Amino acid sequence: MKKALGVLIICAALAVSLCLPVTSQADGVIKIGAMATLEGPFAVLGQDGMRGVKLALQQWNYTVAGKKIKLYTMSTDATPDSATRAARKLVEQDKVDIVIGPLSGSEGIAVKDYAHTQPQVTFFNGISAAQDTTLRNPAPNFFRFTGDGVQFMAGVGEYVVQVKGYKKIVTVAEDYSFAYTNVMGFLLGYCKAGGKVVKRFWVPVGNKDYSTIVASIPDDIDAIFVALGGSDAVNFLSQYEQAGGDKPMVGGTVTIDQSVLSSKGRRKTYMIGTPSGSAMADNLDTPSWKKFVAEYKAAFPKGFPSPSVFAWGYYVSTVACLTALDKVNGDLSNNHKAFRETLSKIELQTPSGVVRLDENRQAIADMFITEVAERPDGVLYSKVVKVVPQVNQTLGMDRKEFLALGPVGRNNPPCN
Amino acid sequence: MKLFIMTILNGLTLAALYFLVASGFTLVFGVMRNVNLAHGSLFLLGAYVGFDVAEATGSWVLGAAGGFVAIAILGLLLQVCIFRFMEGQDLRQTLVTIGISIILADVMLAVWGGVTYQFEIPDALYGVTRLPIIKVYTTYRLFILLIAVVIGLALWLFLDKTRVGMMIRAGVDDRDMLAATGVNVHRVFAIVFTIGAGLAGFAGVVGGSALSIAPGEDLRYLLASLVVVIVGGMGSVGGAALGALLIGLAEQFGLAYSPTYGVVYTFIIMVLTLAFRPQGLLGRRA
C-alpha cells in the first residue's frame, strides 16, 4: 500500500511538472525570473541591476505581444551556489520561461552549467562577465548581450603604456573568475605594449582589511591596477589613501563605476584622471544614452547620479529579451525555437551602441576607454577618451589562437 | 623586514578589534551560559546607530558613545524582556538569539539599505604616524590598539577589584552557589548583558571607522568572535585577548605571506585547539 502511494505521488508530481510550463504560456502570461546580488559585498550593485530590469519592463508596460509579464525576483550573494539555488527556485518552483541574471562572474558560470540541464528555459546573462560563461562549453540556451571582462578592457592596456606612460604596475583584484578575466583583458594589451607587472595581489571577495596588501605594495612602481567591486573597492581605496599611498591608479571596469564613484568619502581628488575601460561611459553623447539616463533618473530618484554598469547590463539584457519577444509575437512554443533564432540574429540598439551576438551567443559591442572626471557639482563620472568599435570576445584574434592563451587565472597572461 | 613588522602591527590592531567584539561575547557566555548568536547583529546595529549620531552631531566621539549607549540599552531590554524567561534553557536561548539576529539583519537592511558606510574619523586620528623601520603607519589603527588595551584594563579592574566584578566571577564559577549566597543573580545578569552588548555596539563604531560597515558584517564578526572565544576559552576575558591575538596575527600573516590559503590558518588554529584543548587555551573545564 505504502509503495503504491509512493508511486502515485511520483506520477502526480511528474504529471504536474510536465503540464505546468504549457499552462503558464496558454493563459497568456510570460513568466520572467530575475536574479541579482541583493546581499553581501555586491548588494548595492545588485540593487542597481534590478533597477535595470524594472526600467525595461516599465518601458514595455509589463506586456509583450499582448501577453502579461509576471516578474519573479531572487537574491543571491555572489557565490556560485547561491546563484544555482536562485536559478533552480525560479525554474523549478516558479516555472519561469525566461531567467535574467546573474550579476557576478562565478555565478554566471554556475548558471550557464545549470542552463545545460534546463533546455526548456531561455537564460539571459545579467552583467556577469567571466570569460568561460560563453567562451568554453557554452550553453545553447544562454545568451549574453554584454561583454566579458576581457572585452571591457579592450585598448586600455595600450592606452596606459602609451599615453599615461605607466611601465611598471602591480595588480590588486578579487580572487575569482570575473576579476581574472578583467585583469587578463588589461594585461593582454598592456604587456604587448611593453608594460611589466611587478606583483599580483588576489584577495577574497568581501575582504575588509587591506592593510597588509597596502603594506606589501612595492615603492618602485608607476601605478596600481585595481579591479575590485562595490564595498571592496571603497575599502581598499580609503585604506590605501589613509596609509599615505600616492601611486596613481588604473581602474578595472567595476571599480570606475557609479557604484564606487558616488560613495561617500575623501577619495575624490585621488580618483580624478584614473583611466579605465567599460562597456559604457557616464558622459556618452548620444541621444539613446541620454534618454536612458533621463529615464533611469526619473524612475529611480533614489538611484545613483547616473546608472551604473550593472543597471546598464541588466537593462540591455532585458531589452534584448523583450525586443525578441515582440518580434516573434510572444511565441515560446517548441522549446523557444523561433525566439532563440531571432535572438541569435538580432541587431540590438542599446543605449551604448549596436550589439550583435557571435556563434557562442556572446555579445560583440562597442567598448569605451574612459577617465574619471568631476562635474561642477562635485559628482565624479567616467569620461570617454576613446571608443573601441565592435569588440568581440577574442579581441579580433583568431578563435583558436585566442583559446590557446589558456583559461583565465591568477597567472595568465604570464607577462614576462 | 618592513613587511614583517607591518604585518605584526596589522595583526595586533586587527586583534584589538576582535578583542573589543569578543570580550562582550565571552562575558555573556561565561556568566549566563548563553551563546548569544545575535552578538554580530548588535555590533552592526551599534555601527549604524553610531553613524547616524555622528552624522547628526558631526562628532565621531558622540557617535561612538551613541553606539555604546543604544546597544547597551537594547541589550538590557533583551535580557529583561526575553532571556529572563528562558533561563537555563541553553538550546532555546540559542535559537532565540539566531531568530533575533535574522530579524535584526532584515530590519537593518530595510532601514539603512545595502550601501557601504564609512565614518569620517576625527582629523587628529586621520593620516599616518611616523614610526622607526616601517616609516609610516595608519594613526587610526594605532588608536584601536590603544582603545583595546584601555578597555581590556578597565574590564580587568572591574572584574578583579569591584564587588560586582567579584559577583560576576563567582557567577562564572558556580551560578547556583552565587544565587544561594543571596546575590540577586538577575541583576548581575542584566549588568553583564548590558556591558557585553554595549561593548559590541562600541566596537561597531570603532571597527566601522577602521574598515567599513555594510550588511553581512554582522555574520563576519559573529564568526570572528566565535572563533576567538573558542580558541581563547569560553567565559575568560584573558582568553578572549589571547584568542584575538592568535587569530588576528594568523589572519594577517596568512594574507601577507600566503594569500591563497590565508583563511585556512584561522581554522587550523581552531581545529588544533578543539583537538587538544577543547575548553580553550585559558578556559576551564565545564
CA distance A227 to chain B (A): 17
Contact residues on chain B for A234, CB-CB shorter than 8 A: 116, 118, 212
**For residue A20, pLDDT beyond 60:** no
- Measured at the alpha carbon of residue A160, what is the angle toward residues A155 and A166, in degrees to the nearest 5? 155
CA distance A127 to A46: 10
ipTM: 0.70
In percent, the amount of chain A with pLDDT more than 90 equals 76
Please tell me which of the candidates A41, A175, A263 has its beta carbon nearest to residue B216.
Answer: A41
Q: Which residues contact A255 (CB under 8 A, 6 or more apart)?
A: A226, A227, A228, A229, A233, A276
Mean pLDDT for A223-235 is: 90
Q: Can you tell me the mean pLDDT for A144-173? A: 95
Rounded CA gap, A394 and A151, in Å? 8
Q: State whether the Cα torsion B51-B53-B57-B63 is positive or negative.
A: negative
Confidence of residue A16 (pLDDT cuts 50, 70, 90): very low
Asked if A44 lies within 8 A of B114 by C-beta distance, the reply is yes
- Residues of chain A neighbouring B259 (CB-CB closer than 8 A): 175, 201-203
Cell (9 digits) for A173: 583584484
User: Closest approach of chain B CAs to the CA of A56, in angstroms?
Assistant: 23
CA distances from A75 to A32, A83, A86, A327 (A): 14, 8, 7, 30
DSSP strand pairing (A98-100 vs A29-37):
parallel
Q: What is the mean pLDDT of residues A99-112?
A: 96
User: With a cut of 70, which residues of chain B have pLDDT below it?
Assistant: 285-286
Query: For A265, which residue in chain B has the nearest alpha carbon?
Result: B118
pLDDT at A1 over 50: no
Spatial distance between the Cα atoms of B56 and A326, rounded to a whole number of angstroms? 51
Tell me which of 3.40.50.2300, 3.40.50.720, 3.40.50.1820, 3.30.420.40 is the CATH number of domain A30-146+286-365: 3.40.50.2300
Class of the CATH domain delimited by A151-284+367-403? alpha beta
| Chain A contact residues (CB < 8 Å to B) | 38-41, 43-44, 46-47, 77, 175, 201-204, 206, 208-209, 211-213, 215-216, 230-231, 234-235, 238-239, 242-244, 263-266
User: Nearest CB to B14: which of A202, A209, A244?
Assistant: A209
On whether the CB atoms of residues A55 and A317 are closer than 8 A, the answer is no
**Minimal Cβ distance to B10: which of A215, A242, A244:** A215
pLDDT at A25 over 60: no
Please choose, from the candidates A146, A176, A203, A180, the residue with its C-alpha nearest in 3D space to the C-alpha of residue A83: A176
Q: Among B44, B212, B260, which would you mutate to test the A interface (most chain A Cβ atoms within 10 Å of its Cβ)?
A: B212
CB contact under 8 A, A212 and B216: no
Query: Residues A171, A409: contact at Cβ < 8 Å?
Result: no
State the Cα–Cα distance between residues A51 and A308, nearest whole angstrom.
10
Chain A residues in contact with B117 (beta carbon < 8 A): 264
Average pLDDT value for residue range A156-174: 95
Residue A19 has pLDDT above 60, yes or no: no
* Statement: residue A48 has pLDDT above 70: yes
pLDDT tens column, A387-403: 999 999 999 999 999 99
Beta strand A196-203 with A249-251: parallel, antiparallel or unpaired? unpaired
Q: Is A242–B140 a contact, with Cβ atoms under 8 angstroms apart?
A: yes
| Residue type at position A291 | K
Among B6, B211, B215, select the one facing A235 at the smallest CB separation: B211
Give the count of beta carbons closer than 10 Å to the beta carbon of residue B236.
23
CB-CB neighbors (< 8 A) of B212 in chain A: 208, 231, 234-235, 238
pTM: 0.81
Cβ–Cβ of B2/A213 closer than 8 Å? no
Backbone CA torsion sign across A59, A62, A66, A72: positive
Interface test with A, best of B5, B115, B247 (most A CBs within 10 A): B115
Q: Using alpha carbons only, give the angle B83, B155, B6 rounded to the nearest 5 degrees.
A: 115
H helix and E strand count, chain B: 11, 2
Residue of A44, A212, A266 lying closest to B115 (CB–CB): A44
Contact list in B for residue A242 (CB cut-off 8 A) is 126-128, 138, 140
Asked whether this chain's domains A30-146+286-365 and A151-284+367-403 adopt the same fold, the reply is: yes
The CA distance from A326 to A339, in Å, is: 9
Domain ranges of chain A: 30-146+286-365, 151-284+367-403
- Amino acid B153: pLDDT: 93
Q: Pick the residue from chain A with its C-alpha nearest to B115.
A: A44
pLDDT of residue B220: 86
In B, minimum Cα distance to A218 occurs at B3
Q: pLDDT by residue (tens digit) across A361-371?
A: 999 999 999 99
pLDDT-derived band at A150 (thresholds 50, 70, 90) equals very high
Residue B133 burial (CB count, 10 A): 9
pLDDT at B286: 54
Q: Which three cell numbers stand for residue A302?
A: 533614489
pLDDT for the residue numbered A137 = 94
Q: Searching chain B, which residue's CA lies closest to the CA of residue A234?
A: B116
